[in-house]
């Protein structure tokens, strides 16, 4: 648990940092702009943020921080749910501004009291008297600010009001606020920032021309959430820094949720978090999933049971089977030897990760520039493909190699250079040789270039020579030479070299991009139970209800419940009978018929052992059971009482579900 919390924290810090950084550019632009704007209209920044509403909070928080640090303005963040009316909006605005004000200046006693007083008054006044008080307050506020700010280098810092979710504000409130504040723009320098989730068109559809003409709008576009995702994946998954890794299926599920459901990076992170929790909770060997330094200690302190657990891992079994027989015995019996081996294997795994990442990046450099992207455009697709199976066996890889063999030289050289950079920056030790080799390739290319130049020189000079008037013999000779050189160009060194490079890259891939499943002890660091994730994050309550009602055997493991298909068995629970009967109906259901059908089914079950004397009693009981089942269906939302016809209920679902 400790490890996990550590990890969690680490992860979060990293993420927050990263998100900050990614926003900072965008924020700087905005701040700069807020400093600059000082005109008669209300300056307004419209931030187009995309549909992932859940991520915006962080953006706004860091934006306000940045704004505050540059001490330009006082900031109020407004949310639509807090401001159903203009009264609440102003109340909220005042409260926040006052607080801001106190925070920034940290003035004592007098001001504080005044602030709280003001706030009280503001909140208690009714709509009419509120207006006066607000004008008074804004009046009284502004000079104070002026007075205050005169001691500062800049005159009258603007007040920034951020509308976090423009779409959900009521138009009336927004319009009123804009009109009111435009009247006071001289005394109170206001700047509005709209957070827009859809498109800037919304401003014009929300605000009529008379209102929007009061605004001086500038548009800002934030990064798309897809780009965020790729950077998050880059930072989280494609580093050797975190010992915890995601398996292919899990990653696929997370990405699918992201791409097909919500575009929310926050939810992606949540899913990742759940993976961590689940992994450390369910896998007893996950204690070994930590930094190599700690791992050594922990391996040494493993108990016998834990060692047994290790022996039970399928990947470890494979490993044992590949060893010599006396070694096998040692592995399976002596704990101390096992621990040694575990340490070695863990180190191997670590090295594998380091190499994997950098080679993956190299491969991505190549494949991402190919036409039609046979292996995917993004590095995450490549990563998934590599994790899924041996990538060099796939058709896509084959075709991308073929395409790579047709690259032209300048591309190839730049790619090689980038590969060298990547490999140099990676921490793996085994790459010295690789780097050397690649550098060699590069120098060869340069040489080639030089040669080509020389050749050209030669040809030029030869042509010059040609132009010189020489004797026939010389001319013939030079022409022959020229021909020769041209022919040799046909099977150039360059092409050979290109083949060589591609071959080498291929070998790199084969060596280092082995899928993790094939590694020994991968279970410790890889989390691969995608079903858990799907169940808990992307649940389908309707399907669960449907299976429970249609096929109760799924849950209640009683032989009697095993149904043979379409028929309505009388042994299933009451509610299932009622449900199945209701499936056969149209839009309206007659309660009497339903009840009769139900009692027919049920009495068929009890048929042999009922006496005719107690049939009335049985009838009542059946009636009661029917009532209970029907009201349960009503609670579940399958039916609702209908007024269309007496004693009928309306069905709310359709078809067979």
Residue environment code for 193-231, b if the CB has 16+ CB neighbours within 10 A, otherwise e: bbbbbeebebbeebbeeebbebbbbeebebeebeebbeb
Residues in 569-598 that interact with other proteins by CB under 8 A: 573-575, 585-593, 595
Our CB check for other proteins shows the closer of 441 and 638 to be: 638
Residue with tokens 């992860």: 11
Which lies closer to other proteins via its Cβ, residue 35 or residue 561?
A: 561
Minimum distance of other proteins from residue 541's CB (angstroms): 4
Q: Which residue in the set 81, 474, 483, 510 belongs to the binding site for other proteins (CB under 8 A)?
A: 81
Nearer to other proteins among residue 371 and residue 541 (C-beta):
541
Q: Helices 304-312 and 335-367, interaxial angle, to 10°?
A: 50
The residue (of 500 and 596) whose beta carbon lies closer to other proteins is 596
Examine residue 544 and tell whether it contacts other proteins (CB under 8 A). Answer: yes
The stretch among 58-66, 262-270, 434-442, 470-478 that binds other proteins (CB under 8 A) is 262-270
**CA–CA separation, 642 and 623 (whole Å):** 20
Q: Which is nearer to other proteins, 315 or 590 (CB)?
A: 590
Q: Which is nearer to other proteins, 77 or 516 (CB)?
A: 77
Q: Which residues contact 525 (CB under 8 A, 6 or more apart)?
A: 243, 244, 245, 289, 349
d(CA 225, CA 223): 6
Nearer to other proteins, 258 or 431 (CB): 258
Comparing CB distances to other proteins, the nearer of 185 and 561 is 561
556, 606, 614, 615: which one contacts other proteins (CB under 8 A)? 556
Phi first, then psi, for residue 112 (nearest 5°) are -55, -50
Between 363 and 581, CB nearer to other proteins: 581
Asked if residue 627 binds other proteins (CB under 8 A), the reply is yes
Q: Does 82 bind other proteins (CB under 8 A)?
A: yes
Residue 545 binds other proteins, judged by CB under 8 A: yes
C-alpha–C-alpha distance, residues 84 and 177, integer Å? 12
Minimum distance of other proteins from residue 630's CB (angstroms):
7
Task: Tell whether residue 198 is a contact of other proteins (CB under 8 A).
Answer: no
Q: Cα–Cα distance between 37 and 55 in angstroms, integer?
A: 28
Cβ 459 to other proteins, closest distance in Å?
Answer: 58
Please report whether residue 120 would count as binding other proteins according to CB under 8 A.
no
Backbone angles phi, psi at 18, to 5 degrees: -65, -45
Stretch that binds other proteins, among 207-215, 308-316, 323-331, 550-558 (CB under 8 A): 550-558
Closer residue to other proteins, CB minimum distance, 406 or 657: 657
Is 286 among the residues that bind other proteins (CB under 8 A)?
no
- The residue among 125 and 462 lying less far from other proteins, judged by its C-beta, is 125
Is 614 an interacting residue with respect to other proteins (CB under 8 A)? Answer: no
CB nearer to other proteins: give 330 or 537: 537
646 binds other proteins (CB under 8 A): yes
Tell me the two tokens of residue 193: 């920032």
CB burial class (10 A; 0-12, 13-18, 19+) of residue 373?
Answer: middle
Quickly tell me which residue has 């609702």 as its tokens.
Answer: 640
Q: Is 266 in the site for other proteins (CB under 8 A)?
A: yes
DSSP character for 567?
S
Q: Which one of residues 270, 311, 439, 493 is an interface residue with other proteins (CB under 8 A)?
A: 270
Residues 484-543 that bind other proteins (CB under 8 A): 535-539, 541-542
**Binding of residue 604 to other proteins (CB under 8 A):** no
SS3 at position 238: coil
* Cα–Cα distance for residue pair 111/106, rounded to 1 Å: 9
Q: Do 360 and 387 form a contact (C-beta atoms < 8 A)? A: no
- Does position 259 interact with other proteins (CB under 8 A)? The reply is no
- Distance between CA atoms of residues 344 and 347, nearest Å: 5
Say if residues 218 and 55 touch (Cβ distance below 8 Å): no
Q: Which of residues 229-258 bind other proteins (CB under 8 A)?
A: none
Rule CB under 8 A: is residue 16 a binding residue for other proteins? no
Total of chain residues touching other proteins, rule CB under 8 A? 77
In whole angstroms, the minimum distance from the beta carbon of 254 to other proteins comes to: 15
- Using an 8 Å Cβ cutoff, are 196 and 49 in contact? yes
Q: Are 81 and 90 in contact (CB under 8 A)?
A: no
Residue 645 binding other proteins, by CB under 8 A? yes
DSSP assignment of 39-75 equals -SSEEEEEEE--S-HHHHHHHHHHHHHHHHHTT--EE
C-beta of 496 vs 588, nearer to other proteins? 588
The residue range among 129-137, 179-187, 216-224, 545-553 that interacts with other proteins, by the rule CB under 8 A, is 545-553
Which helix (H) or strand (E) segment holds residue 628: the answer is helix 615-636
Task: Check residue 260 for interaction with other proteins (CB under 8 A).
Answer: no
- How far apart are alpha carbons 589 and 584 in whole angstroms? 10
**Does 222 engage in binding with other proteins (CB under 8 A)?**
no
Closest CA to 214 of 171, 182, 174: 182
Q: Are 276 and 283 in contact (CB under 8 A)?
A: no
- How far apart are CB 308 and other proteins at their closest, in Å? 23
Which of these segments, 245-253, 368-376, 414-422, 624-632, binds other proteins (CB under 8 A)?
624-632
Q: What would the x/- binding string for other proteins be over residues 130 to 169, using CB under 8 A? A: -----------------------------------x----
The mark string for 40-69 relative to other proteins (x by CB under 8 A, - otherwise) is: ------------xxx---------------
> Which tokens sit at 268?
């992606």
Please count the other Cβ atoms lying within 10 Å of the Cβ belonging to residue 300: 12
Instruction: Give the footprint of other proteins on residues 348-407 (CB under 8 A).
Output: none
């Amino acid at each position: 648990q400790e490890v996990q919390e550590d990890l969690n924290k680490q992860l979060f810090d990293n993420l927050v940092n990263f998100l900050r950084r990614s926003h900072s550019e965008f924020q700087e632009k905005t701040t700069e702009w807020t400093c600059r704007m000082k005109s008669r209209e209300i300056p307004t920044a419209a931030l187009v943020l995309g549909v992932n509403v859940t991520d915006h909070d962080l953006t706004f928080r860091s934006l306000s921080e940045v704004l505050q640090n540059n001490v330009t303005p006082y900031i109020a963040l407004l949310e639509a749910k807090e401001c159903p009316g203009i009264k609440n909006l102003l109340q909220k605005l005042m409260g926040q501004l006052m607080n801001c004000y106190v925070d920034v200046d940290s003035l004592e006693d007098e001001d504080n009291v005044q602030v709280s007083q003001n706030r009280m008054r503001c909140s208690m006044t009714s709509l009419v008297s509120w207006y006066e008080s607000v004008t008074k307050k804004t009046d009284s506020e502004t000079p104070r600010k002026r007075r205050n700010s005169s001691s500062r280098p800049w005159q009258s810092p603007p007040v920034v009001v951020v509308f976090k979710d423009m779409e959900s504000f009521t138009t009336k409130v927004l319009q009123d606020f804009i009109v009111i504040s435009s009247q006071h723009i001289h005394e109170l320098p206001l700047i509005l920032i709209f957070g827009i989730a859809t498109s800037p068109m919304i401003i014009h559809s929300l605000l009529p021309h008379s209102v929007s003409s009061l605004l001086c709008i500038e548009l800002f576009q934030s990064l798309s959430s897809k780009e965020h995702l790729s950077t998050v994946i880059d930072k989280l998954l494609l580093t050797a820094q975190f010992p915890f890794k995601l398996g292919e299926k899990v990653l696929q599920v997370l990405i699918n949720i992201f791409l097909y459901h919500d575009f929310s990076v926050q939810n992606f992170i949540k899913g990742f978090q759940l993976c961590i929790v689940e992994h450390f909770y369910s896998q007893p060997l996950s204690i070994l999933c930590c930094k190599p330094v700690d791992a050594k200690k922990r391996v040494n302190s493993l108990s016998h049971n834990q060692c047994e657990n290790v022996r039970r891992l399928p990947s470890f079994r494979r490993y044992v089977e590949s060893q010599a027989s006396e070694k096998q015995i040692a592995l399976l019996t002596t704990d101390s030897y096992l621990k040694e081996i575990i340490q070695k294997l863990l180190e191997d795994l670590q090295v594998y990760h380091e190499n994997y990442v950098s080679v993956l990046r190299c491969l991505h450099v190549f494949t991402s520039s190919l036409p039609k992207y046979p292996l995917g455009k993004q590095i995450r697709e490549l990563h998934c493909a590599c994790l899924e199976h041996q990538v060099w066996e796939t058709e896509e890889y084959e075709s991308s190699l073929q395409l790579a063999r047709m690259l032209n030289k300048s591309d190839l050289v730049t790619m090689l250079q980038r590969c060298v950079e990547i490999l140099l920056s990676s921490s793996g030790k085994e790459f010295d040789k690789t780097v050397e080799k690649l550098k060699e390739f590069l120098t060869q290319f340069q040489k080639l270039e030089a040669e080509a130049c020389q050749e050209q020189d030669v040809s030029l000079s030869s042509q010059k020579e040609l132009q010189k008037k020489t004797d026939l013999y010389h001319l013939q000779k030079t022409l022959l030479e020229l021909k020769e050189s041209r022919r040799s160009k046909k099977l150039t060194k360059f092409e050979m070299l290109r083949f060589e490079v591609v071959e080498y890259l291929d070998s790199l891939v084969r060596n280092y991009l082995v899928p993790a499943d094939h590694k020994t002890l991968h279970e410790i660091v890889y989390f691969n139970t995608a079903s858990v994730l799907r169940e808990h994050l992307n649940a389908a309550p309707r399907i669960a209800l449907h299976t429970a009602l249609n096929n109760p055997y799924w849950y209640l493991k009683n032989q009697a419940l095993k149904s043979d298909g379409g028929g309505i068995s009388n042994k299933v629970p009451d509610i299932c009978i009622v449900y199945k009967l209701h499936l056969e109906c149209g839009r309206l259901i007659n309660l009497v018929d339903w009840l009769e059908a139900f009692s027919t089914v049920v009495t068929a079950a009890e048929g042999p052992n009922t006496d005719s004397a107690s049939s009335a009693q049985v009838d009542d009981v059946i009636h009661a059971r029917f009532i209970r089942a029907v009201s349960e269906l009503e609670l579940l939302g399958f039916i609702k009482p209908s007024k269309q016809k007496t004693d009928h209920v309306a069905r709310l679902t359709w078809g067979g579900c």
